[in-house]
Amino acid sequence: MEENINVVETKMPLIGDKAPEFKAVTTQGEINFPSDYKGSWVILFSHPADFTPVCTTEFMTFASMADEFKELNTELVGLSVDSLYAHIAWLRKIQELEWNGMKDVEVKFPLIEDIKMDVSNKYGMIQPGQSNTQAVRAVFVIDPEGIIRTILYYPLSTGRNFDEIKRIILALQKADADSVATPADWRPGDDVIVPTAGSCGVAKERMESQESDQYCLDWFMCFKKESK
């Protein structure tokens, strides 16, 4: 007799997709995502488990940078497959720890309870090659319209680079505001890339242009100067 097995396939969201919607219980109350955050950038990130050392260093770092992200109109939302009570106990313990110059750290952003892995599966955070019971270290940057703009995935063993996560927010906001692109290792104040010429005439004009705030290395690669 053949056994019928129902397999639920979930398409992992991609850059440019609308962020999958969900309602969840968190350490800061119930949230409706992403509608509660319309008008703000959001960093939605997952971690494998509470009371683990790498995750603890990450939460201390995120909490210490929360005001910096707030200044960039960016909200933080964390997730793991642990219970709400485990979250609360762990966040209280974090306040008692001191690491890398950080102490008395209070995590004020919401941490989602996802015991049934509903949200984790919607966002492709459970990856069997790593673990069937823990979420990998995923980062989704979502813009004020609820569109996914950046996706980062880290293995369980590797802590995230938080300077890079902040740099991504700055770069996306710069690109949106000025209709430009940012080159490798771009930081605020560095020169930016203007859109590639769409015709021979524009390419020729750019190469011959004497505009003081622009320069071209070749017809396809032109920069705009930024004030430091």
Catalytic residue set: 55
Residue of 56, 26, 24, 29 lying closest to 123 (CA atoms): 24
Is position 167 annotated in a ligand binding site?
no
Helix (H, G, I), strand (E, B) or coil at 93: helix
Report the 3 state secondary structure along 148-202.
EEEEEEECCCCCCCHHHHHHHHHHHHHHHHHCCECCCCCCCCCCEECCCCCCHHH
53-64 helix and 162-178 helix, angle to the nearest 10 degrees: 40
Place of tokens 């992992």: 12
Q: What residue numbers does the annotated binding site for substrate cover?
A: 137
Q: What residue numbers does the annotated binding site cover?
A: 137
